[in-house]
């Protein structure tokens, strides 16, 4: 079918109305175009925020290593052969290793016992032996139908799980008719493997025991032995060649028992690793500075996504001040990062003087850790300094206790020791108000105190109640395992009131109490045995745990916030969950969603507008076409007919 002429824009009217409609829609879409430009800006800001977060996180990670001391904890060791052909041990150190040196000699290495029986004609044929063998205290029954392989498998099945037998069994096939059961101890040492024919003579027939119940010399492939060695002339014995309990933080692996061999071993702090950790901090800091600078330079044609943004301005101001600040509580001559070799140039870039740092590391190790780390101490053993507020830079606070935390507890009174439920059993419901968990226990006539305690304890454990049940003579005490007002116990019993003599005649409800006191003379709020300084005070956010029983002064808590800790705290505000960057990202996400929805709304409205305009122009075109057709018909009627006079 041929399309009507009016389907072509302006065919009848003589002008392109579709282009006119496009121009009208384009003009009316300007608000959406402006929103799309804003959406591009939002997307660029999101990308910049991601890059910003990456650099902040890198610096925060490096700062945390300084704050918790792991940057300075790496240790190293060297072994020097004094005599003999090689070192008698290898050495591994841990962060707990104190610098020092020692001389090591090994006279005997620990060995793992291995026993082999006499040859059997087959490993699969029944041995026709019955009895019970005992290996390392574990009984193994052997039947006449068992082969050498079956005995092997039964032993190995016991060498698994939480309590392995400590022996592995294999079969050594010397020839097709010479198969021997081999037992290998799972641990080295002179104790080796204990064997016994508890009933029968299976082990004796296998050649692993003689008639006197001893292992014959011919069955010993390797004799178990302890390790004998000396450290600085002091004799020591261990069942293993891996010795981790002789020197704190040092694990020795004895490797040689060469006669007369002596090895000197020195352990110390690893300066290269510490310097590398501090250089990682420098590099992360400078990477962040470069990013912040890139967001601060605009041209006539463009601006960075975070140009003049408070996210950048605030950190550019605060970061150098935290880095250069003097640390309260540090040694006076080692109280700034500059004193150990960190310095800022005119461009705000950080550099490290390796010589100054190594001097401090080698000669002032503890002062260096104080300079960079966070030290929380308490003068009383009953007080633990748990945490401090973000805004606190250091100081000392006296702790005053006005009330100690208590646990919820209740005890029966006058219980005879034998329960009388009356006509029907009673049901006791025990509730832990801290968790909301409950447990039901049926109490019947004749149950003793011990039986009730066991039943309640089992029910509390099974249902996850943090409650302890104990006997006090005939009485029954129920105690919450946590202290504080939120940790309580509710007891109700159904079925009472029938005249019987029950232990609980009415519902019981008891609660613990919270610790109370002040920190630095400022009000604090207790929760269990935790006391936290109130918001708006100079002790805000300081949390201590008090486990003592005395009231009054509980000493003081002291805080030193070093350079690494201060930088980490500052960056935490930006990158932690719910922090400054999360808030900005959420704002951008909401703005993006609103703008996207607005653009969609505008485009939907304009589509309706376009369709309406086109419909009207199409109608106009159709009307013009009809007029043109009528005009052409009229003019045709006026034209002279052929064969007529003018």
pLDDT attached to residue 328: 84
Identify the helix (H) or strand (E) that includes residue 415. Answer: none
> Which segments in the chain show pLDDT lower than 50?
1-8, 646
Give how far Cα 556 sits from Cα of 184, 377, 387, 395, 405, Å. Answer: 58, 8, 14, 10, 19
Residues 6+ apart with CB under 8 A from 307: 295, 296, 298
**Could you give phi then psi for residue 67, rounded to 5 degrees?**
-65, -45
pLDDT attached to residue 1: 38
The helix/strand count (H/E) of the chain reads as: 11, 32
List the one residue out of 417, 566, 532, 432 whose CA is nearest residue 491.
432
**Could you give phi then psi for residue 301, rounded to 5 degrees?**
-100, -20
Distance (Å, rounded) from C-alpha 150 to C-alpha 194? 20
């Amino acid at each position: 079918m041929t399309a009507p002429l009016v389907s072509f824009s302006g065919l009848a009217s003589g002008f392109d109305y579709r282009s006119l409609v496009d121009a009208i829609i384009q003009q009316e879409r300007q608000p959406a175009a402006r929103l799309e430009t804003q959406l591009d800006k939002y997307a660029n800001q999101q990308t910049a925020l991601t890059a910003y977060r990456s650099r902040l996180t890198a610096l925060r990670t490096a700062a945390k290593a300084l704050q918790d001391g792991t940057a300075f904890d790496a240790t190293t060791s060297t072994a020097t052969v004094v005599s003999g052909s090689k070192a008698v041990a290898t050495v591994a150190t841990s962060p707990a290793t104190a610098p020092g040196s020692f001389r090591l000699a090994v006279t005997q290495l620990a060995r793992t016992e291995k026993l082999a029986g006499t040859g059997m004609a087959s490993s699969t044929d029944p041995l026709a032996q019955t009895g019970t063998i005992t290996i390392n205290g574990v009984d193994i029954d052997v039947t006449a139908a068992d082969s050498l392989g079956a005995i092997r498998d039964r032993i190995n099945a016991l060498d698994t799980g939480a309590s392995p037998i400590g022996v592995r069994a294999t079969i050594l096939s010397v020839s097709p008719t010479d198969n021997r059961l081999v037992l290998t101890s799972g641990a080295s040492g002179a104790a080796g493997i204990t064997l016994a024919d508890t009933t029968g003579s299976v082990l004796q027939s296998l050649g692993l025991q003689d008639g006197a119940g001893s292992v014959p010399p011919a069955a010993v492939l390797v004799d178990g032995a302890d390790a004998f060695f000396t450290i600085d002339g002091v004799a020591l014995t261990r069942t293993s060649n891996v010795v981790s309990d002789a020197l704190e933080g040092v694990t020795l692996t004895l490797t040689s028992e060469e006669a007369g061999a002596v090895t000197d071993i020195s352990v110390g702090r690893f300066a290269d690793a510490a310097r590398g950790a501090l250089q990682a901090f420098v590099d992360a800091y400078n990477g962040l500075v470069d990013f912040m600078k890139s967001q601060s330079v605009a041209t006539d044609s463009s601006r960075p996504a975070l140009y003049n943004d408070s996210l950048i301005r605030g950190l550019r101001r605060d970061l150098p001040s935290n880095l250069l600040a003097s640390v309260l509580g540090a040694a006076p001559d080692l109280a700034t990062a500059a004193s150990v070799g960190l310095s800022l140039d005119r461009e705000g870039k950080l550099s490290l003087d390796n010589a100054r740092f190594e001097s401090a590391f080698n000669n002032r190790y503890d002062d260096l850790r104080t300079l960079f780390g966070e030290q929380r101490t308490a003068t009383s053993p009953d007080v633990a300094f748990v945490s401090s507020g973000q805004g606190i830079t250091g100081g000392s606070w006296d702790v005053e206790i006005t009330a100690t935390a208590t646990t919820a507890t209740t005890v029966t009174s006058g219980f005879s020791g034998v329960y009388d439920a009356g006509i029907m059993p009673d049901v006791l419901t025990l509730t832990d108000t801290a968790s909301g968990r409950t447990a039901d226990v049926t109490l019947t006539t004749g149950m003793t105190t011990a039986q009730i305690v066991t039943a309640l304890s089992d029910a509390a454990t099974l249902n996850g109640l943090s409650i302890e049940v104990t006997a006090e003579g005939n009485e029954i005490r129920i105690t919450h395992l946590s202290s504080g007002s939120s940790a309580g116990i509710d007891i109700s019993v159904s079925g009472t009131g029938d005249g019987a003599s029950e232990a609980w005649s009415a519902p019981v409800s008891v609660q613990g109490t919270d610790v109370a006191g002040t920190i630095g003379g400022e009000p604090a709020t207790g929760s269990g045995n935790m006391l936290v300084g109130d918001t708006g005070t100079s002790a805000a956010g300081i949390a201590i745990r008090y486990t003592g029983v005395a009231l009054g002064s509980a000493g003081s808590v002291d805080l030193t916030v070093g350079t690494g800790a201060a930088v980490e705290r500052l960056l935490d505000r930006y990158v932690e969950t719910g922090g400054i960057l999360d808030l900005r990202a959420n704002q951008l996400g909401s703005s993006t969603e609103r703008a996207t929805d607005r653009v969609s709304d505008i485009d939907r409205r304009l589509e309706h507008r376009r369709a309406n305009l086109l419909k009207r122009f199409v109608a106009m075109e159709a009307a013009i076409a009809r007029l043109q057709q009528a005009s052409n018909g009229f003019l045709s009627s006026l034209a002279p007919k052929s064969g007529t006079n003018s």
